[in-house]
């Protein structure tokens, strides 16, 4: 497989259409394997291109990963929470989510958060487990389309006794600590 040259940048309002397409594809082609088609459709229902810029205006930081000029994944964080992590199904299994997640966790760590939290779709649970997240509780979450989907509340402890509290050594420490998942080449 050709090596991916990934670049990362913050989302802009012009990304709306591309993010919507990617988001729907990730749900309807990948996540659907963990749910019924009816639940996946009702999860994807009601997504709008403007929704990403609106979320950003409300404090969500959305970073996108690009390969060959196209957006292939995105990750949002707000406070200590991972709000969304999606990779285009044509590009999964190549370390894109891992790259986005390491960057997001590095940011949380640099801001002094003691844990990262996520409400994970069942399709994301193996990914988060590979990163060291622990399942706390299973819940039913209402979808935009009026169904209920099973989700798992998960958390990853950041820092720890060996973590430097600040400075360049903290960044170096974060890169080792946050590298439990091997990168696909």
Ligand X SMILES: CC(C)(COP(=O)(O)OP(=O)(O)OC[C@H]1O[C@@H](n2cnc3c(N)ncnc32)[C@H](O)[C@@H]1OP(=O)(O)O)[C@@H](O)C(=O)NCCC(=O)NCCS
Shortest Cβ 169–ligand X spacing (Å):
26
Question: Smallest distance from the beta carbon of 19 to ligand X, in angstroms?
Answer: 12
Nearer to ligand X, 5 or 165 (CB): 5
**At its nearest, how many Å lie between ligand X and the CB of residue 13?**
22
Q: How far is the CB of 29 from ligand X (least distance, A)?
A: 8
52 or 127: CB nearest ligand X? 127
Q: Site residues (CB under 6 A) for ligand X? A: 26, 30-31, 85-87, 92-98, 120-121, 123-124, 126-127, 130, 181-182, 184
- Judged by beta carbon, residue 36 or residue 169, the one nearer ligand X is 36
| 155 vs 170 by CB, closer to ligand X | 155
d(CA 12, CA 110): 24
In this structure, the chain runs to a length of 185
Nearer to ligand X, 34 or 163 (CB): 34
Tell me which residue has its CB nearest to ligand X. Answer: 124
Please report the DSSP string for the chain in residue order: -PPP-EEEEE--GGGHHHHHHHHHHIIIIIGGGGS-HHHHHHHHTT--THHHHHHHHTT-EEEEEEETTEEEEEEEEETTEEEEEEE-GGGTTSSHHHHHHHHHHHHHHHTT-SEEEEEEEGGGHHHHHHTT-EEEEEEEEE-TTS-EEEEEEEEEE---TT--SSSHHHHHHHHHHT--SPPP-
Q: How far is the CB of 28 from ligand X (least distance, A)?
A: 10
């Amino acid at each position: 497989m050709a090596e991916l040259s990934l670049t990362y940048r913050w989302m802009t309002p012009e990304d709306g259409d591309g993010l919507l397409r990617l988001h729907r594809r990730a749900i309807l082609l990948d996540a659907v394997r963990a749910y019924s088609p009816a639940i996946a459709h009702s999860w994807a229902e009601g997504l709008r291109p403007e929704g990403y810029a609106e979320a950003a205006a409300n404090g969500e930081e959305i970073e996108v990963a690009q390969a060959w000029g196209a957006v292939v994944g995105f990750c949002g964080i707000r406070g200590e929470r991972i709000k969304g992590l999606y990779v285009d199904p044509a590009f999964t299994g190549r370390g894109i989510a891992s790259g986005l997640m390491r960057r997001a966790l590095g940011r949380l760590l640099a801001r002094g958060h003691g844990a990262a939290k996520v409400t994970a779709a069942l399709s994301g649970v193996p990914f988060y487990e590979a990163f060291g997240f622990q399942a706390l509780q299973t819940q039913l979450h209402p979808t935009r389309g009026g169904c209920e989907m099973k989700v798992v509340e998960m958390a990853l402890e950041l820092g720890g006794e060996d973590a430097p509290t600040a400075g360049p050594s903290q960044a170096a420490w974060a890169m080792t600590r946050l590298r439990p998942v091997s990168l696909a080449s």
